């Protein structure tokens, strides 16, 4: 049932990057397969809602963010903005209204700013290209306003600076100022604080949280850090190999995770391990499998300590395990709960973090 209050929804979104095969493959007309960076993602973001997208490196977080900001084209599924299909919208003039409402913040602010543009030019760029101002006075006013809101005060002092004349935190604030200068309704933030000093992180997060409070701006916060996601988000979506394995309220995902992968993620984070956890798991074994070779059945089964026969054959659908809480695992329905108490699992616990 489509929720009319959703600002954005992804419907079984797929991004497959074809793998360039060797000459041999091409001569034989054989496909070398594809990297399934996103492989059927369903996600809704409500107005003014902060959703965290959590997952290991290579799980496809950035790819999902790039689809939402129209930097990558999905190979399947749909991207709906306020119920309107934006999947195949192309060209900068057709996308202009969308760009006014959906903006992005990047992981590496140093890379995200043109080294030859001043702070003023960088922040003014969206206002100019999206034609949001009529004259220079208005432009200066909006740029100052945005820089202040991003915590760069007094704004005039920063106008003529170049990126290399700023600290890392200030650079990220400039990127944020550029994004919020257009007063968007959704911001995709791709690991916005992972490259910053711990001391600066809290301030940057505060800026983002304030935006929601003041302007009811929705935020998709991409991170690999579960405690950080819990801190900032209303809901958390856990991504594994291009597919959401669990989604629910920040508290549920953090303290009452249902999917074995989420449990393992949480267990890898000493701060939030608690006795109240539903079940204990050994720490994850092995590497994240490559998105070029997604396992058959449940994509987590080669690493899942609870895997059983069915997991190897059938991919589990997202199953409602609580209010607003979905988990893509066979366990809650297949009566496999009994396995949770099997002694071999308990004894394996000493292997965890």
Ligand X SMILES: Nc1ncnc2c1ncn2[C@@H]1O[C@H](COP(=O)(O)OP(=O)(O)OP(=O)(O)O)[C@@H](O)[C@H]1O
Give the shortest CB-304-to-ligand SF4 separation in angstroms: 3
Interface mask toward ligand SF4 for 309-328; x: CB under 6 A:
--x----x------------
CA distance 114 to 111: 7
Of 104, 127, 324, 109, nearest to 219 (Cα)? 104
State which of positions 197-236 bind ligand X (CB under 6 A): 224
Give me the residues that bind another protein (CB under 8 A), please.
Answer: 66, 69-71, 92-93, 95-96, 99-100, 103-104, 106, 108, 110-118, 120, 125-126, 129-130, 140, 144, 156-157, 159-165, 175, 178-179, 182
Contact residue for ligand SF4 among 189, 241, 265, 331 (CB under 6 A): 331
257 binds ligand X (CB under 6 A): no
- Of the residues 9, 59, 62, 249, which one makes contact with Mg ion according to CB under 5 A: 62
Write out the DSSP string of 179-206.
Answer: HHHT--SEEEEESTTTTS-HHHHHHHHH
CA 105, 107, 110, 115 dihedral sign is: negative
Residue 269 to residues 36, 199, 255, 301: CA-CA distances in angstroms? 27, 20, 12, 21
The answer to whether the bond into 154 is cis (omega within 30° of 0) is yes
Q: Is 40 in the site for ligand SF4 (CB under 6 A)?
A: no
The CB-of-57 to Mg ion minimum distance in angstroms stands at 7
- Residue with smaller CB distance to ligand X, 40 or 60: 60
> In angstroms, what CA-CA distances link 270 with 160, 196, 210, 324, 353?
44, 22, 29, 26, 7
Give CA–CA dist 219/292, Å, rounded.
29
Partners of 137 in beta bridges? none
- How many residues bind ligand SF4, per CB under 6 A? 13
By three-state DSSP, how is residue 327 classified?
A: strand
330 binds ligand SF4 (CB under 6 A): yes
Q: Is 266 in the site for ligand SF4 (CB under 6 A)?
A: no
- CA 149/CA 209 separation, integer angstroms: 12
Q: Residue 326 and residue 248: Cα distance in Å, rounded?
A: 6
**Residue 311 binds which one of Mg ion, ligand SF4, another protein, none, with CB within 5 to 8 A depending on kind?**
ligand SF4
C-beta of 300: minimal distance to ligand X in Å? Answer: 15
The sign of the dihedral angle between the CA atoms of 166, 179, 68, 227 is positive
Distance in Å, CB of 328 to ligand X, minimum: 17
Min dist. Cβ of residue 178 to another protein (A): 6
Nearer of residues 109 and 182 to Mg ion, judged by Cβ: 109
Binding site for ligand SF4 (CB under 6 A): 259-260, 298, 300-301, 304, 306-307, 311, 316, 329-331
Binding site for Mg ion (CB under 5 A): 62
Binding site for ligand X (CB under 6 A): 17, 35, 37, 55, 57-63, 224, 291
């Amino acid at each position: 049932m489509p929720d009319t209050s959703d600002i954005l929804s992804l419907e079984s979104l797929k991004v497959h990057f074809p793998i360039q095969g060797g000459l041999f493959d091409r001569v034989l007309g054989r496909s070398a397969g594809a990297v399934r960076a996103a492989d059927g993602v369903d996600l809704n973001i409500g107005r003014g809602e902060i959703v965290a997208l959590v997952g290991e490196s290579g799980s496809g977080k950035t790819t999902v963010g790039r689809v939402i900001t129209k930097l990558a084209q999905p190979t399947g599924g749909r991207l709906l903005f306020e119920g309107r299909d934006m999947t195949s919208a192309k060209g900068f003039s057709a996308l202009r209204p969308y760009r006014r409402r959906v903006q992005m913040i990047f992981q590496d602010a140093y890379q995200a700013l043109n080294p030859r543009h001043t702070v003023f030019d960088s922040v003014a760029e969206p206002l100019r290209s999206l034609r949001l101002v009529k004259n220079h006075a208005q432009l200066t006013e909006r740029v100052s306003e945005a820089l202040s809101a991003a915590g760069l005060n007094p704004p005039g002092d920063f106008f003529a600076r170049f990126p290399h004349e700023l600290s890392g935190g200030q650079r990220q604030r400039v990127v944020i100022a550029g994004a919020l200068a257009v007063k968007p309704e959704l911001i995709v933030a791709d690991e916005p604080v992972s490259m910053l000093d711990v001391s600066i992180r809290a301030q940057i997060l505060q800026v983002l949280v304030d935006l929601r409070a003041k302007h009811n701006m929705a935020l998709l916060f991409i991170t690999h850090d579960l405690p950080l996601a819990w801190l900032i988000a209303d809901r958390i979506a856990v991504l594994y190999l291009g597919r959401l394995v669990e989604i629910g309220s920040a508290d549920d995902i953090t303290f009452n995770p249902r999917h074995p992968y989420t449990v393992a993620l949480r267990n890898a984070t000493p701060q939030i391990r608690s006795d109240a956890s539903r079940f204990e798991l050994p720490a994850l074994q092995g590497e994240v499998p490559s998105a070029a070779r997604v396992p058959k059945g449940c994509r987590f089964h080669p690493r899942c300590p609870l895997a059983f026969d069915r997991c190897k054959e059938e991919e589990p659908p997202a199953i409602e395990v609580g209010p607003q809480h979905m988990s893509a695992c066979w366990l809650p329905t297949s009566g496999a709960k009994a396995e949770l108490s099997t002694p071999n699992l308990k004894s394996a616990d000493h292997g965890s973090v």
